[in-house]
Amino acid sequence: MPTIYQMKQQLADLGAELKAITEEIRSKAGDPGAKLEELRDLKQKQVDTEERFKLLKEEIEKQEKEERAKLELQFKQNHPVLGTDNNEQRMIAAKADLIRSAILGRQMSEEARNLLGAIKQTTSTGGEKFLPTNMANELISEPFTRNPLRGVIRMTNVKGLEVPKIAFTLDDDAFIGDEETAKEIALTGDKVSFGRFKFKVKARISDTVLHGSDLNLVNYVENALRSGLAAKEKKVSFATTPATGEEHMSFYSTQNAVKQVTAADKYKAIKASLADLHEDFRENAKIVMTFADYMDIIETLANGNTTLYNAQPEQVLGKPVIFCDSAVDPIIGDFNYAHLNYDGDMVYDSDKDVNKGEYLFVLTSWFDMQLLLKSAFRIAKVAPQA
C-alpha cells in the first residue's frame, strides 16, 4: 500500500496531467482543423482524470485523518491528565507537547493546540512559530529571576505603542508646575513612541529533562525563559555602558542625562535628591538602591545602636525602598514615568548544541524601555573627596 507521501506525489502528477488536458482542449476547440472525435476523446479523458484526482484526494484525506487520530490516541496515552478535569495539569501537558514538538520537529496534538489557543504561523518568511498569547503573558508577568522594577514601572505588551508623557492636560498650557518638566516637554515633545529591539533567550534542555515528566520540563523551560527576560530587562535599565542603540533605556546613560545630586555620603545624597524632586514626583517617589549601600547607611546612622537594624527601610529613608544589586548609584523618583513595553508576539524556535548534547528552546522577543519624563528622577552620588 502506498504511503501518504507517495499518494501526494501521484496526486501532483494527476493535477499536472489534468491541467495539460484542459489546455489542449482549449487550444483545439478554437482550431477549425481539429476533429470533433479527437475533442470528444480529450473531453472524456478530462472527465476520467478529474474523477481519479477526486478519488485519490479523498483517500489521502481519509488516511491523514486516521493518522491524526492515532497521534491523538498516543498523545492521550502519554498524557493521561488531559482526560481529567484538572485544568492546571492539562495546561502543563499541552505546554510540554509544544516544547517537545518544537525540539523534535513533529506536529503538535490538536488537543494541546486547542488548550493553548490559536498558534499563528506564517509562511511568507519560512514559517515562524508564534508563542501562544497566554504563555507569552505568563512569561512576562510571572518572572522566576526577579526584575525589581516590575511592579513599580509601567509594563505593557502593545504593538507600535505610543503614549503621552503626562496623562492629562488643562486648557492652560502653563499648568505644569515643574520648570524642568516644562523644558523637557518643550524640547522633546509630549509623546513617546516605543521601538522594537530584538533579543533572544535560549533555554538549554538535557535529554533526560526533555523526556522526563511534563511538569519538570515545563517548569524548567519556563523558569529559564523568565530568568532570561528579567535579566535582559535589568541589564538595559541599569547599564552604565549601554549597548549601541539601547542608550535611551538606561537610567545611567549620558543620553538620558538624569540629573545627579551629590552630597558627602549616600544617605545625604538620597535626602537631597528627594528634596530636589518636584512635589508632584516626590509624592509617589521610591528609592532603588543596593542592599550593601543601605547597610552602610544603617551602620553609620546606628552608631552602635541596634534599633535601626530592625526598622523598615521606608522609616529610615522616608520613602519605599527597592533593593537591586545593579543600581550602582541610588535612583530616586516616580517610577510611573518609566515604561517597559513588549512589542507584539514572541516567536519560538528550536535548535541543538551537538557539542554539548543539549536541546535549545529559543524565544525571540522585541521590547523597549523608555523614561517618559527624565525630570521625574534623580541619581544620588557621593561627591568626590578633596
- pLDDT by residue for the chain (386 residues), tens only, comes to 677 778 888 888 888 898 888 888 888 888 888 788 888 888 898 899 999 999 988 988 888 888 777 766 665 555 554 455 567 777 888 888 888 888 887 777 777 777 777 455 443 444 456 777 666 666 654 445 668 888 888 888 888 888 876 654 434 444 445 566 666 666 555 678 898 899 898 888 888 888 888 888 888 888 888 888 888 999 999 999 999 999 999 999 999 899 999 999 999 999 999 999 998 899 999 999 999 999 999 988 887 777 788 889 999 999 999 999 999 999 999 999 999 999 878 888 888 887 787 888 888 899 999 998 888 999 999 988 75
Measuring CA to CA, how many Å separate 37 from each of 24, 46, 51, 294? 14, 14, 21, 99
- 235 burial level (CB within 10 Å; 0-12, 13-18, 19+): middle
Cα–Cα distance between 265 and 141 in angstroms, integer? 36
pLDDT of amino acid 340: 92
Report how far residue 163's alpha carbon sits from residue 228's, in angstroms, rounded to the nearest whole number: 27
Q: Show the cell assigned to 236.
A: 538595559
* Residue 364 near residue 198 (C-beta atoms within 8 A): yes
Q: Coil, strand or helix: which one is 185?
A: helix
Of the candidates 154, 243, 238, the residue with the CA atom closest to the CA atom of residue 197: 243
pLDDT tens, residue by residue, 88-113: 777 888 888 888 888 887 777 777 77
d(CA 191, CA 179): 18
pLDDT given at position 220: 85
Q: Beta strand pairing status for 197-205 and 358-371?
A: antiparallel
Q: In 69-218, at which residue ranges do the beta strands (DSSP E only) sit?
A: 129-130, 154-156, 162-164, 191-193, 197-205
Query: What are the cell numbers at 285?
Result: 517617589
pLDDT tens profile 35-84: 888 888 888 988 999 999 999 889 888 888 887 777 666 655 555 544 55
Query: Under a CB-based contact definition with an 8 Å cutoff, are residues 83 and 76 in contact?
Result: yes
Residues 236/242, Cβ–Cβ less than 8 Å: yes
